[in-house]
């Protein structure tokens, strides 16, 4: 199984990656490492070339638009994405909690959507306080999504029932985070989304359910919790999620 969204370049993992990789290999877990900006993307590439349970995704986090030279960084990240062998574009999206630079964020996210189409790479999307905006922007690409030329995966989606339905109807996938154990909204999300649209994620080291740092191994608890919510055998759910993984993340075998 794959943790489709983790930040293993975070300082909290310093000196721990070797052991983590060994543990993940033993448990059969693979991780898609998300990058946040040009420098972080470089670190993602480095750790993924070193450890075989890690797979690189490069991205452009919405906070970059606060820098005066954000347009240059956008160009640099686009080149970085085009010139490296990656499994997804992540982390990208819109965040109105971080800042309200709506036009700048839209410009950057639109570029990332178009890059996803051009390179045929799945897009793992952040949508904090901006669910309506993200869905509206993806709606402009509905035809491409329906033809599977664009594969949007909404990470830690916080939309209400109506918004979940809208995004699902549009053809989006959803990655369910490990904090589902204590967040009722995520439990409703897991209940609403059909199993053929589900992935697992941890957002490690964030979204821990206890006081320790979160690690990709917590997807093992997440899948049990989702199976319980969906009242289905956990083995069947794992089979379906692995099917989704094979279909969408073709480069990870």
* Site residues, Zn ion (CB under 5 A): 91, 203
Min separation Cβ 160 and Zn ion, Å: 21
From residue 157, give the alpha-carbon distance in Å to each of 14, 137, 185, 198: 28, 16, 9, 12
Residue 122 C-beta: closest distance to Zn ion, Å: 15
Task: Quote the Cα angle for 144-237-31, to 5°.
Answer: 65
Closest distance of CB 62 from Zn ion, Å: 11
C-alpha closest to that of 57 among 133, 153, 162: 153
Q: How far is the CB of 68 from Zn ion (least distance, A)?
A: 24
Helix (H, G, I), strand (E, B) or coil at 188: helix
Tokens representing residue 68 in the block: 């005066």
Cβ nearer to Zn ion, comparing 61 with 70: 61
CA 72/CA 210 separation, integer angstroms? 39
Contact 123, 150 (CB under 8 A): yes
**Cis peptide bond prior to 175, omega within 30° of 0:** no
- Could you tell me the smallest distance in angstroms from the CB atom of residue 88 to Zn ion? 12
């Amino acid at each position: 199984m794959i943790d489709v969204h983790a930040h293993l370049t975070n300082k909290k993992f310093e000196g721990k990656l070797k052991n983590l990789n060994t543990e993940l290999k033993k448990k059969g877990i693979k991780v898609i490492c998300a990058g946040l900006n040009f420098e972080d993307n470089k670190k993602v590439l480095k750790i993924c070339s070193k450890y075989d349970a890690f797979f690189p995704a490069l991205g452009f986090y919405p906070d970059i638009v606060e820098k005066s030279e954000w347009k240059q960084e956008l160009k640099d990240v686009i080149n970085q994405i085009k010139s490296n062998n990656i499994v997804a574009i992540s982390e990208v999206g819109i965040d109105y909690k971080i800042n309200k630079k709506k036009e700048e964020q839209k410009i950057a996210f639109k570029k990332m959507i178009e890059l996803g189409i051009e390179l045929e790479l799945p897009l793992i999307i952040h949508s904090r306080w901006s669910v309506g905006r993200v869905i509206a922007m993806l709606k402009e690409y509905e035809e491409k999504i329906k033809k599977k030329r664009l594969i949007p995966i909404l990470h830690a989606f916080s939309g209400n029932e109506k918004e979940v339905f809208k995004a699902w109807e549009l053809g989006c996938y959803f990655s369910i985070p490990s904090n589902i154990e204590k967040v009722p909204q995520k439990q409703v999300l897991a209940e609403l989304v059909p199993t053929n649209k589900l992935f697992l994620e941890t957002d490690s080291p964030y979204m821990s359910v206890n006081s320790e740092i979160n690690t990709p191994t917590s997807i093992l608890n997440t899948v049990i919790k989702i199976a319980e919510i969906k009242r289905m055998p956990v083995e069947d759910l794992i089979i379906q999620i692995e099917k989704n993984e094979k279909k969408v993340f073709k480069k990870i075998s």
